[in-house]
Amino acid sequence: MSPNSPNSTTATTAKNSETNSAAKQVRNLLIVLAAIALSVSIFFGLRTQTPSSSLTAMAKASAPLETALVNGKPTLMEFYANWCGSCQAMAKDLSEIKQKYAEPLNFVMLNVDNDKWLPEITKYRVNGIPHFIYLNNKGSAVAETIGEAPRDIMEANLEALIAGKDLPHAKATGQVSNFTPATGPVKTSSSDPRAHGSQVQ
């Protein structure tokens, strides 16, 4: 068969058509895989940012420490930071707990990255977060827990605090994010992962 015969042209056209079809299938597959990878990365990126945002929102909605110490209600005081994985892990449960006990309790959140809270950080010897201090209705510390705690343990402690009883889990310790308090004015650089600037509460 000569290269210029009609059968040769038809075979070449068929091969080109198959090659183009295969190339289009590979291209479409790559586009689908890229779209899936992008969707997954966006999903996990948003999930990673949400707890930090909710911690900031919860802190803004919390009672001022000065008010909580004098208004005659017991208080749960939390030392936290936006970069704290353990704090983020508890954020959803704590938000729901705070809504449930909003009437009988004060909830105070103190960001350990804010130099303003250094006296309280020192007073309560905060070296891991989340660090919870339970204050009675006179503003005196009656118990503390450090690290992640299951919701039922937190609620049992809060029920006892409201009732003026000893807390059943007064020295509970869970997973923490380590924190080293500053001994003087903190100077942070922009490369410091704890330098949050305007986010500090």
pLDDT number for residue 52: 53
CA distances to 33, 37, 41, 124 from 27, in Å: 10, 15, 21, 61
pLDDT number for residue 64: 95
Q: 154 an active-site residue? A: no
The residue annotated as part of the active site, out of 87, 90, 126, 200, is: 87
Q: Is residue 20 part of a domain?
A: no
pLDDT number for residue 46: 52
pLDDT number for residue 110: 96
pLDDT number for residue 154: 94
Q: Is residue 90 part of a domain?
A: yes
pLDDT number for residue 11: 61
| CATH number reported for the structural domain that contains residue 152 in this entry | 3.40.30.10
pLDDT number for residue 20: 79
Q: How many domains does the chain have?
A: 1
pLDDT number for residue 197: 39
Q: Is residue 93 part of a domain?
A: yes
Q: Which residue numbers in the chain have pLDDT < 50?
A: 48-50, 185-201
pLDDT number for residue 159: 96
pLDDT number for residue 141: 93
Q: What residue type is 190 in one-letter code?
A: S
> How many residues in total does the chain contain?
201
Look up the domain containing 172 and give its range. 55-199
pLDDT number for residue 181: 72
Q: 35 an active-site residue? A: no
The residue annotated as part of the active site, out of 58, 68, 84, 112, is: 84
Q: Is residue 31 part of a domain?
A: no
Q: Is residue 84 part of a domain?
A: yes
Q: Is residue 1 part of a domain?
A: no
Q: Is residue 174 part of a domain?
A: yes
Q: Is residue 32 part of a domain?
A: no
pTM score above 0.75: no
